[in-house]
Amino acid sequence: MSQAKRATEDRRPGPIPHTLSPYLCIEFVNSRFENHTGTGEAYDRLEMPRWREWFADRAGIAVKHPPTPESFRELVHVRASLRSLLEARVQPDARAVSWINRYLAASPPVWQLSREGVGFRMQVTWGTDWGAVIAAVLTSYGQLLESGHVDRVRRCANPHCTWLFYDESRNASRRWCDPHVCGNLQGVRAHRDRSRRQAHPRTAT
């Protein structure tokens, strides 16, 4: 392997994201993203076994096997559909609601009562396949809609970044997925553009 190729691979993102969301559906959509510096590279963590293991665990589902080719296609389809819905930042239409309900009906959660200390606890459990993961993701999207704050889902203001985030700021003014990454990058670029314009002003015509 050439030194240049090795250096490129060393810069590829790892399987576990460092920026998390309070909503599972947003994290799921963010499993596919583009290089924020504008190289045009796209990364897909859904293809990474370590990410799938991590995400299923985060969803509270003990998935026993890797997704079949058919299951993988379903995961990709749901992810693309959810991205469209989340980026629109509006309530889904009747067709989208019906589509979501079909997936939820195919893998319903099961409530179980268990003893906890001197009391009891009701706990929801899911299946152990990737259909259950999809149901958990869509349940998260439903909870986001139920909150009435789907308009707080933002796409990073960096035009090269595809990362979505939930804006929890008081006045809903957050612009960057990570101010220390995309915020700083765009700040540096803006400063360079201003300096360039000042150094080479256009001549009056």
Q: What is the DSSP track for the chain? A: --HHHHHHHHTS--SS-SS--SSHHHHHHTTEEE-TTS---EEEGGG-HHHHHHHHHHTT----SPPPHHHHHHHHHHHHHHHHHHHHTS---HHHHHHHHHHHHHS--EEEEEEETTEEEEEEE--SSHHHHHHHHHHHHHHHHHHT-GGGEEE-SSTT---EEE--STTS----S-IIIIIHHHHHHHHHHHHHHHHSPPPP-
pLDDT reported for residue 8: 44
Q: Is residue 55 pLDDT above 90, yes or no?
A: yes
Q: Is the residue at 28 inside a domain?
A: yes
Q: Is residue 194 pLDDT above 70, yes or no?
A: no
Task: State the total domains in the chain.
Answer: 1
Q: What is the mean pLDDT of residues 168-195?
A: 72
Q: Is the residue at 205 inside a domain?
A: no
pLDDT in tens, 151-160: 999 999 999 9
Q: Is the pTM of this model over 0.85?
A: no
pLDDT reported for residue 190: 52
pLDDT reported for residue 197: 61
pLDDT reported for residue 81: 97
pLDDT in tens, 104-130: 999 988 888 999 999 999 988 889 999
Query: What pLDDT band is residue 195 in, cutting at 50, 70 and 90?
Result: low
Q: Residue 85 maps to which CATH number?
A: 1.10.3300.10
pLDDT reported for residue 199: 64
User: Where in the sequence is the domain holding 168, given as residue range(s)?
Assistant: 7-199
Q: Is the residue at 160 inside a domain?
A: yes
Q: Is the residue at 204 inside a domain?
A: no
pLDDT reported for residue 173: 86
Q: Is the residue at 1 inside a domain?
A: no
Q: Is the residue at 129 inside a domain?
A: yes
Q: Is residue 149 pLDDT above 90, yes or no?
A: yes
Q: Is the residue at 113 inside a domain?
A: yes
Q: Is the residue at 165 inside a domain?
A: yes
